[in-house]
Amino acid sequence: MSNSTAEEKIRQLTKELQEHNYRYYILAEPTISDYEFDMKLKELEALEKEYPQYALPDSPTQKVGGETLNDFKTIKHNRPMLSLGNTYNEGELKEFDNRVQKLLGSTDYLYICELKIDGVAISLNYKDGKLVQAVTRGDGVQGDDVTENVKTIRSLATVLKGDFPHDLEVRGEIFMHRKAFEKLNEEKAKLGEPLYANPRNTTAGSLKLLDNQEVAKRPLDTYLYHVLCEERDLHSHYESLQKIKEWGLKTSEYTEQCKTIDEVLKFIAKWETKRKELSFDIDGIVIKVNNFEQQNELGFTAKVPRWAIAYKYKAETALTQLLSVDFQIGRTGAVTPVANLAPVFLSGTTVKRATLHNANEIQRLDLHYGDWVYIEKGGEIIPKITKVELAKRHEDAKPVMMLSACPGCGTPLIRKEGEANHYCPNELGCPPQIRGRVEHFISRKAMDILGLGEETVDMLVSKGLIHTVADLYKLTYNQVVSLERMADKSAQNLIKGIEDSKKIHFARVLFALGIRYVGETVAKKLALSFKSIDALASANFEELSNVDEIGEVIAQSILDYFAQKEHRDLVEELKSFGLQMAVAKDEQAVLQSNVLQNLSIVISGVFQKYSRDELKDLIETNGGKNASSVSSKTSYLLAGEGIGPAKLEKAKQLNIPIISEDDFLNLIKSADKPNDVKPPQGPQSLF
């Protein structure tokens, strides 16, 4: 075979197999047999081996995986992946349009309407046209590196074509078509295995598989909708979508330009009816101002862009029968009733359970065993019972009553005055509470102990190996490796993860203790104010209440926690194992800085070097105060990209200094000269 013939044959087979891959894995509508496909794939593999110079970077032979990962690295996004504001009614959408019109001072703008795909948000980074990194949305500031798994998606180009930028980030959605999902479940059913819950959860789970050969078998697809790059002179969102296509990436074919809000409403109404005809699930419509210059002018609020909004379709409802009620115990001892239902298909998933919240909700519904109930998904996710079909109630039906004793340990339940929940007071001896506290303690934002999941925690508690979180630090390798399905390497990793957690900073240890009402942010404020667990434990009500944003309820909860000898003993035990119960020296220098003392700073926009939360931490740990709105008492407006126009205008009116991220960082570097703090010069010209 001549070189030219081989090159042409490789191109032909590559294109043909890509089309068959799409039909098989994405549409679940194959047009050739598995045997025919495999023969063509082997022919291509042989040609690529003999003529490697002609093998294409996006060849189907490269989409089969082959690497087993140990874990997923956490990667910080170059720019935060912000969420959108949601609305469920036309009135709020018209209010959004009025705000856009008022802020722009014009009606000369276009909207782009896109289907809101029910999938997993992803950020793809290309260097010189090659996919080098794929990161999940995560918490918006950082996500998981799932590059090797994403490379196996057959509809995604790992190499761009055309006139692409040197450095490009494209964002979009990874999802699964319904037919492909159903085919996966058919295969699970044949094997007698539990079925997958829904396409979105299956997509998310697929991306987190450690073996990308398994990921390659999953029928994942992508639609991309957002471009971030400095090298292209793009003027509008619609123009950027056209560029995405030119570079060989997939965009949704259902996107439309709308000149008025009435046209937007027509688009929404059309797809509310037609969405069931789609091959994939959507839960709404995304509306964006098209022009980039106008987007910049509109800016951002603290959490969402002002130039975009998501219209969410109202939840579908279904009628099914209540079979029984379980009562679950959380880590704080709160009892949550959960309804077990006759399986019913709703919004793309089979629903079998729904939360009943508390005794008040049971009473409100006047719920009886055997009732036929209407259920819907709150925000298309969490099933809930909305009402009872009284006409179908059996005359002998018995009412659902709240338990009087804990189902986990048999202790009589209590209900504090003014609270909706019932509680089990047996904090130290109730197995569900012990499990809940341990799961909270080891969670990512607390002690972040790798290798320790819910199933392992359950085994450790069930076997009596742990009764408190302190018992984790007594575990030995021999105890762990003897657990069911615990391999040698997993046991080693678990023991190492527990040991490494001793380096976690004090604020996170404090959060991990699970003191009622002491969340992540409150724990940081307490650590900043008291510097050590001993100082916090000995603080009185007035001292606690005087801490910024620590109210009476939190102060009393802290006093109640340390009033119990068991809690004081637990803290001492954790100290003895070497956990950080005071602000470490490497933090102390920052925490003791008063360079921003008596300064009130407002943050607005998106920043390059730090997230908004990180900047807020820097303000607080250097003695300053975070303010939410600009006033005459504001010391600085810390302005990022897409700053809110109202804040900017008010700052100018009040002559408040407007500083950039770099100005702010230079400001806190002057911590060694606290009496010489002066407003940074020059930044106002940037705005």
Domain range annotation of the chain: 3-62, 86-312, 319-423, 431-503, 506-588, 594-686
Residue 277's pLDDT is: 87
The per-residue pLDDT for 255 is: 96
Q: Which residues, 6 or more positions from 415, have their beta carbon under 8 angstroms from its beta carbon?
A: 359, 421, 422, 423
Place of tokens 């979180």: 469
Distance of alpha carbon 128 from alpha carbon 231, whole angstroms: 12
Alpha helices by DSSP H, listed for 164-314, are 178-190, 199-207, 212-216, 237-246, 261-274, 292-298
Question: Distances from the Cα of 561 to the Cαs of 73, 518, 571, 625, in angstroms?
Answer: 36, 11, 11, 28
Q: Label residues 469-493 b or e (16+ Cβ within 10 Å = b).
A: bbbbbebeeebbbebeebeeebbeb
Output the CATH code of domain 506-588.
1.10.150.20
420-479: pLDDT as tens digits: 889 999 988 899 999 999 999 998 889 988 778 888 898 998 888 999 999 999 999 999
Which DSSP string corresponds to 441-470?
HTSTTTT--TT--HHHHHHHHHTTS-SSGG
- CATH node for 594-686: 3.40.50.10190
Q: Each residue of 315-357: pLDDT tens digit?
A: 778 899 999 999 999 888 889 999 999 998 886 678 899 989 8
According to the model, what pLDDT value does residue 674 have?
A: 40
pLDDT tens digit string along 80-133?
A: 888 888 888 899 999 999 999 999 999 999 999 999 998 999 999 999 999 999
pLDDT higher than threshold 60 for residue 588: no
Q: What is the pLDDT of residue 549?
A: 67
Q: How far apart are CA 327 and CA 430, in angstroms?
A: 14
pLDDT surpasses 80 at 377: no
pLDDT-derived band at 63 (thresholds 50, 70, 90) equals low
pLDDT tens digits for range 194-214: 677 778 888 988 898 877 788
The class that CATH gives domain 86-312 is alpha beta
Residue 188 appears among annotated catalytic residues: no
pLDDT tens-digit series, residues 261-298:
999 999 999 999 898 889 898 989 999 999 999 999 99
Best CATH choice for the domain 431-503 from the list 1.10.3720.10, 1.10.150.20, 2.60.40.10, 3.40.309.10? 1.10.150.20
Determine the pLDDT at residue 687: 30
Whether pLDDT at 14 is above 80? yes
**Domain at 319-423, CATH class:** mainly beta
Chain mean pLDDT for the chain: 85
Check for a shared fold between 431-503 and 506-588: yes
* Phi, psi torsion values for 207, nearest 5 degrees: -65, -20
Is the confidence at residue 66, as pLDDT, over 90? no
Q: What tokens appear for 449 in the block?
A: 């102990």
Query: Is the Cβ–Cβ distance between 604 and 568 less than 8 Å?
Result: no
**Residue of 9, 63, 94, 116 marked active site:** 116
pLDDT digits (tens, 9 = 90+) for 182-197: 888 888 777 776 677 7
Q: Is the pLDDT of residue 683 over 50?
A: no
Predicted pLDDT of residue 479: 92
User: Would the pLDDT of 360 be above 80?
Assistant: yes
Fold type of domain 3-62: Helix Hairpins (1.10.287)
